[in-house]
Chains A and B, each alone.
Chain A
Amino acid sequence: MRGSEKFLAPSLRHLMGTDNFGRDIFSRVLKGAGSTLRIALGTVAIGAVLGTAIGALTGYFGGAVDEAFMRLNDAITAFPSMLLALVFISILGSGSLNVILALGIVFIPSFARVTRTAFASLRDANYVKSARLMGAGSGRILFVHMLPNTLQVLLPAVTIGFNNAVLAEASMSYLGIGSMSSLGYMLSDAQGVITSAPWYAMGTGLVIVLLIFGVGLIGEGLNRGEWEEGV
Chain B
Amino acid sequence: MRKRQMNGFLKAGLILTGVLLAMIALGFFLDTL
A residues with CB within 8 A of B: 27, 30-31, 33-34, 37, 207, 210-211, 213-222, 224-226, 229-231
Contact = CB atoms under 8 A, between A and B. Distances in A.
A227 B10 CA distance: 12
Contacts of A220: 9-10, 13
Interface in B5-26: 5-14, 16-17, 20-21, 23-24, 26
A30 B26 contact: yes
Given A225-B9, A229-B4, 5 more contacts: A31-B27, A34-B27, A207-B20, A218-B10, A221-B14
Interface residues of B, number: 25
Interface of B: 1-14, 16-17, 20-21, 23-24, 26-28, 30-31
5 contacts: A210-B16, A214-B13, A217-B16, A222-B10, A230-B3
Contacts of A207: 20
B3 to A, nearest CB: 5
Contact of B28 (A34, A222, A225, A231): A34
